[in-house]
A and B are shown apart, each in its own frame.
Chain A
Amino acid sequence: MRHFIVVALLVIACTFLTHTAITSIDILPRKASAQAIPIDHLFEIQLWLISFLFSLVTVTLAYSLIVFRRRPGDVSEGVHVEGNTRLEILWTVAPLVTVIALAYLGARSLSEVQRADPNALQVEVLGGQWFWSFTYPEYGVTSDELYLPVSKQALLRMTSLDVIHSFWVPEFRVKQDLLPGKITELRVTPTETGEYTLLCAEMCGTSHAYMVAPVKVVSQEEFMAWIEEKISQAKLDPVQRGRKLANQYCTACHSIDGSQKVGPTWKGLFGSLVTLEDGTSVIADEVYLRNAIANPNLQIRKGYPGNVMPNFGNILTESQIEDLVAYIRSIE
C-alpha cells in the first residue's frame, strides 16, 4: 500500500512539473486568428492529458526499476501475480471514456473552427509549382502577397494548377490542401495585424521548400488603400507589370542573371538563337516568347524537360502575356 501512495504522490507532482516545464517555453507560435482560439484551447487540454499519462507511466516504471531492482546476490523470483481482471477493466474503461470525451470536444471545436460568416471577404487562392497567387474577385485585383483585413473573416477558395499543395500559416493554425481540378475552401479570421508567412505544407516537387508567400494582416483602411494602389498599379508601364508577374509566376524556375534553374535563363534570351529538342533552331523573337509562355510544350528547349512548365495561356490574359514579353525583352 505504501508503494501506491508514494507513486500516486510522485505522479501528481510530476504531472504538474511536466506541464509547467512545457508551458514555460512557448510551444506554439503566436495565435493570430479566431480559428486558433478553439484549437489552442484543445491543445491546452491535451497538454494536461499528455503530462498526466507521461508521468503516470514513466514515474511508475522508474519507481519499479529503482525500488524493485534486483540487489546483488539476490537470486529469488518476483511475486507470482498473473493479472487482475478488475484492474484490466478499469484501465480499459477509463481510457475509453477519456478518448470519447476528447473526440467530443474535438468535434465541437471543429465546428467552431468552421463557423461561416456570410459577409466574408472572398479571396481566390491559386497554387502552382512554385508560386502562390491571390485574387480578390470583388475588386478585380491579383497579387502575390496575401493581404487580409484584420477581424474580418476571409473565405479562401483555393485550387491548384498542377499538383497538390497545402495552405498553412502557422499563426492561423488551420491548414487545407489545394487540389488540381477542384476547389477547396478555408475560412480564416485574422485577429492581429502583422506579417506572417504562408507555407506550402504538402510536398510538391523540387522547390517545395521555397513555396512561401508573405501574408500581411492590416486594418480595414490600410487594406482598402492597398486595393486602390493595386488597381492604379495595373496602369503602370508594361515592363513594370511584366516584372511583377514574373516574380509571381516565373522566377522560381527562370533566372534573369544567367544562373541555372529548372528552366532556361532569360538573360540575353530575346533575339538569341535557341536550339529546340528536335534539333532545329529558332530566333527567340516575340512570337516565340508568346508561344513559349502560353503553350510551352509546343517548342521544347533542348536540355530542358517538357511538361514541367504550366500552360500559362490558361492562367494569364493576353495582355499579361504581352507584359511578360515586354519584360523579358528588357533583360539584357
Chain B
Amino acid sequence: MKVILSLGLIRGLLWQLLGTALGIGFFTLVRALLGLPSWEAEPAIVVGALFGALFFLLGVGVLNDWLKWAAGEPTEDHVDDSHLGWRRYFGPSLDHKVIGVQYLVLSLVLMSVGGLFALLFRTELAQVQMQFLSLDQYNTLMSLHGMVMIISILMGIAAFMNYLVPLLIGAHDMAFPRLNAFSFWIAVPSAIILLSSLALGGFDTGWTGYPPLSVRAPIGIQMFLLGVSLSGFSSILGGLNIIATIVRMRARSMTPFRMPIFVWSSLATSIISLTATQLIGLSFQMVMLQRLFGMSFFDATKGGNPILFQHLFWFYSHPAVYIFVLPGLGIISELLPVFVRKPLFGYRWIAMSSLGIALVGFLVWGHHMFTSGMAEYLRVPFMYSTLLVAVPTGIKFFSWLATAWQGKISFETPMLFILAGIVVFLLGGLSGPPHAVVSTNLHLHDSYFVVGHFHNAMYGGFVFPFFAAIFYWYPKITGKRLSETLGKIQFWLMAPSFVIMSLLMMRIGLLGMRRRIADYEPAFGFEPYHLIMTIMAFLTALGVVVFFINVIYTQLKGQPVTGNVWNSRSPEWQVPSPMPVHNYERELIVVGEPYDYGSPGSRYVKFVGEA
C-alpha cells in the first residue's frame, strides 16, 4: 500500500478526484452565496475538471520545485533517481529518457483506447442499419476516436523527440527538465478529462467541434474542449523545450548541417506546435465561453460568425497534421541509411524540406473550407498554396528513393515498417492533390475519400515509422531486443490489411459514402466493402496485440543486448545500452558527417579523450 501511494501517478489520480469534487463544491457554494440557484451542472463540472487537473499536478508533485523556488528554498539539480528503479516511471522524473518512455506508454495506452473505439464503431458499420450502438453512441465513439488518436500521436512524437533529441545532439538532458516533466504530466489529466466526456453524455461533433453543433451538444463536449485545450499546453511547452534544447545544447562542433536529420524534423515540428497550438486552444475556449456565458462569437443571429471558428480551428489543425508526420518522416530519413548502408541522399534538401513543409503548412488552412461558404475569392489562392506543399514532400520521396538506390538493403523489422511508411505515406500524398484542387474537392469534401486520405497520411507518416522507431531503439531503451519473428508477424498483419482498408475507404468515398455517418443507404451497395474494411481493421488491431505480446515476451525471455545492434553511426549507439542516467560520460565531439555509410574509416562522433 505504501509503495502504491508513493507512486506519483496514483497520488495524482486521487488528488484529481478530490480536486474535481472540491471544484464542484466550491462553485456551487459561490453560487449559493451569491443567491443564485445553487446547482447548475455544466459550469460546475467545468470548474470541477479544471480544479481536478490542477490538483493532479499538485498530487504528482511536478510543481514542487517551482513552489520551492517561489518560497525561496533551494532545489537539487541533476537528480539521479535511478535507485527508484521501475517506480521512477510513475513519478515526476526529470530525466528526459524517463519522460520519453512515459510519453511512449501514454501514447500506446491512448492508441489502444482510441483503437478500441474504432473497432466498436467499425463493427457497427459492417452491416446497414444500427445493430448494437445507438446513433448517439456511434457519434460519440467516432468523435472520441479522432481526438484520442490525435492526442496519442502527439504523445508518440513527444516520446521520441524527448528520448532522442538530447541523445542525438550529445546533451545530458533537455534545456528545461522541470518544464519537460510538467509538459508530460499535464497531458495525463487532460486525457482523463477528454475521456470523461463518455460519462457526460458524449458529443457528436467529430474531432473538429464545429459550432453551432458543438454549442448544442451534450455536456460531454465541454470535457472534450477542456481536455484538448489543456493538452495543448503539453504541445506548446514541449515544443518550446525542444527548440531551446536544439539551439542551445548541441555538442561542440555539431553545426546545423551536421545534426542528425531527426533533429531537423523535430525542430520543424516544434516550431509548428509552439506557434499554432494556441489557435485550436483559442477556438475551443471560445466555444466553451459561448456555452457557459452566452458569448455569441459564432452565433450568426447575434452578430457572430460560424465560419470564423473554422478559420481559427484549421489555422492550427492543418499545420498540426504536419506535426503528426514530420517526426515520422524524420525517423524514415534517420533509419533508411542504416538499413541500406548508404549516406542519406541530399541531406540538406531533406532538412530544408521539413522547414519548407512547416512554413508552407501555415498558408493552406483554407483548403478544409472550400465548400464552407467562406469568401469565394479565397478558394483559388488556397489551392495554389496547398499544392505547393507537394513540392517539399516530393523532395523527401525522391531523396529516399535515391538513398535506397544501389544500397545494400536488409530487411529487419524496423526496415519493414519504414518501407510500409514510405508506401502508405505515398498513398496519402497522392490522394492529397485531388482534395487540394477546388473543383474536385467539391465532390470529395466530407466524403470517405478524405477519411482514406488522412488515414494513409497518418499511418504512413506516424504509425508505421513509430513502430519502426520502437523496434529500432528498444534495445537502447531497455537493453533487450524485441523478437524479430513476432515483429514480422505484426508487420504482415498490419501493413497489408491497412492498405486494403484505406483503398476501400477511398473507393466508397468516391462513390458517395459520406464521412461521420452511423449508417448508410443500402441502395449504394457499400455493405460488402464495409464488411471487408471491418475485417481488415480487426487484423490491424491484431497486429498491435502481437506487438504487446512481443513486449511482454521480450521483457520476460529476451536476452540482454548492449552493443551497437544495427551497426549505426549515430552517437547514442556508440555507448552501451541501456543508456546511462546522464547520457554521455565524456563529452561528444562531431568529427564527420552523420550518414557517411560506405566511407571506410570515417566516423561521425568521438568522445573527448578518445583516439
* Cross-interface CB contact of A46 among B408, B440, B595, cutoff 8 Å: B440
B176 contacts chain A at the CB level, 8 A cutoff: no
A29 at the interface (CB under 8 A from B): yes
Which residue of B213, B341, B600 contacts A203 across the interface (Cβ within 8 Å)? Answer: B213
Tell whether, in the assembled complex, residue B439 and residue A113 are in contact, meaning their CB atoms are under 8 Å apart: yes
B136 in contact with A206 (CB, 8 Å): yes
Any A CB within 8 A of the CB of B423: yes
User: Digit string of B399-419 for contact with A (CB within 8 Å is 1, else 0)?
Assistant: 111101111111100000001
Interface of A is mostly: mixed
Residues of B within 8 A of A163 (CB): 210, 212-213, 216
In the docked arrangement, what's the CA distance between A133 and B346, Å?
58
Which of B213, B343, B373 touches A204 (beta carbons < 8 Å)? B213
- Is there contact, CB below 8 Å, between B216 and A42? no
**With an 8 A cutoff between CB atoms, is B342 at the interface?**
yes
A201 touches B394 (CB 8 A): no
Residue A118 at the B interface, CB < 8 A? no
Q: Does A227 contact B (CB under 8 A)?
A: no
B43 interface residue (CB < 8 Å to A):
no
Taking a contact as CB atoms under 8 Å apart, the answer to whether B216 and A307 are in contact is yes
The answer to the question of A210 belonging to the interface, with a C-beta cut-off of 8 Å to chain B, is yes
Q: Which of B427, B433, B442, B507 lies in contact with A175, CB distance below 8 A? A: B442
Interchain CA distance A179-B208 in the complex, whole Å: 16
Known A50-B430, A82-B347: A174·B405 in contact at CB below 8 Å: no
> Is B558 located at the chain interface by the 8 A CB criterion?
no
Known: A99-B387, A179-B307, A206-B136. A65 touches B404 (CB 8 A): yes
Give complex CA distance A79, B598 in Å: 6
Residue B75 at the chain A interface, CB threshold 8 Å: no
Closest residue on chain B to residue A38 by CB atoms: B439
Shortest CB-to-CB span from B570 to chain A, Å, is 16
Residues of B within 8 A of A54 (CB): 426-427, 430
Assess the A113–B442 pair: CB atoms within 8 A: yes
Q: Which residues of A contact B340 (CB under 8 A)?
A: 64, 68, 78
Stretch of A104-112, A149-157, A238-246 lying at the B interface = A104-112
Interface residues of A, count at CB 8 A = 81
Q: Which of B91-99, B186-194, B513-521 contacts A (4 or more CB under 8 A)?
A: B513-521
| Interchain CB contact under 8 A, A77 and B408 | yes
Can you list, as one digit per residue, whether each of A59-95 has a CB less than 8 Å from chain B (1) or not (0)? 0110011001110001011111111100110011001
Complexed CA–CA distance, A76 and B98 (Å): 37
A182 at the interface (CB under 8 A from B): yes
For residue A184, which residues in chain B have a CB less than 8 angstroms away from its CB? 373
A200–B520 alpha-carbon span in the complex (Å): 12
Residue contact B597 to A78, C-beta cutoff 8 Å:
yes
> Which residues does chain B contribute within 8 Å of A197, judged by CB atoms?
521, 523
* Chain B: number of interface residues, binned into ranges: 35 or more
**B460 shortest CB reach to chain A, Å:** 12
The reply to whether the CB of B5 lies closer than 8 angstroms to some CB of chain A is no
- Tell me the bound Cα distance from A200 to B446 in angstroms: 10
A99 and B397 alpha carbons, distance in the complex (Å): 16
User: CB distance B409 to A68 under 8 Å?
Assistant: yes
On whether the beta carbons of B390 and A164 are closer than 8 Å, the reply is no
Q: Which of B216, B347, B442 has the most CB of A within 10 A?
A: B442
Q: A83-B345, A197-B521, A209-B517 known; 9 other A-B pairs, CB under 8 Å? A: A39-B442, A53-B430, A61-B422, A61-B423, A69-B411, A163-B212, A166-B371, A174-B443, A197-B523
23 A-B residue pairs with CB within 8 Å: A39-B443, A57-B397, A57-B423, A57-B426, A64-B404, A69-B409, A80-B342, A81-B345, A88-B346, A91-B394, A99-B388, A102-B433, A103-B437, A106-B438, A113-B439, A164-B213, A168-B447, A168-B514, A174-B442, A177-B371, A180-B306, A182-B300, A308-B216
User: Which positions in A face B, CB cutoff 8 Å?
Assistant: 3, 27-29, 38-39, 42-43, 46, 49-50, 53-54, 57-58, 60-61, 64-65, 68-70, 74, 76-84, 87-88, 91-92, 95-96, 99-100, 102-103, 105-107, 109-110, 112-113, 162-164, 166, 168, 170, 173-177, 179-182, 184, 197, 199-210, 212, 307-308
Question: Which 6 pairs from chain A and chain B are nearest by CB?
Answer: A181-B300, A170-B512, A78-B342, A106-B437, A78-B407, A80-B598
